[in-house]
Amino acid sequence: MAWIYLLIAGVLEVQWAVTMKYTEGFTKLWPSVFCVLGMAASVYFLALAQKTLPLGTSYAIWTGIGAVGAAICGMILFNEPRDIARILCILVIVAGILGLKFTSGH
């Protein structure tokens, strides 16, 4: 169950990162509310995952999911660059996430 909590936390990490873009510096009410709720929920699920998973593994995977998801959403939603170097860097992060998952012992 801890891995499911960690996946939920990672997806919520992406949600709040993307939502933050829409807050315009926390000057827009509803995007700001959704952003802060996403932050709180993300940390909550990370805490649930850390009851079982090692700190280093869970935190690195959480931030990795957030980084990869935010980068991909930036490309799709905000027309950020999609060059091969950026995509290769994203794949390196994914490889790190998978490496930590499969070497964690859990």
Q: What are phi and psi of 99, to 5 degrees?
A: -60, -45
What is the maximum span of the chain, computed from C-alpha positions, in angstroms?
44
Report how many domains make up the chain.
1
pLDDT tens profile 10-43: 999 999 999 999 999 999 999 999 999 999 999 9
Average model confidence (pLDDT) for the chain? 96
Predicted model pTM: 0.90
- Residue 69's domain comprises 2-103
Q: Cα–Cα distance between 86 and 40 in angstroms, integer?
A: 29
> Number of H helices and number of E strands within the chain?
4, 0
Per-residue pLDDT band at 61 (split at 50, 70, 90): very high
Whether residue 105 has pLDDT greater than 80:
no
Predicted pLDDT of residue 104: 79
DSSP 63-103: HHHHHHHHHHHHHHHS-----HHHHHHHHHHHHHHHHHHHH
Contact between 23 and 79 under an 8 Å Cβ cutoff? The reply is no
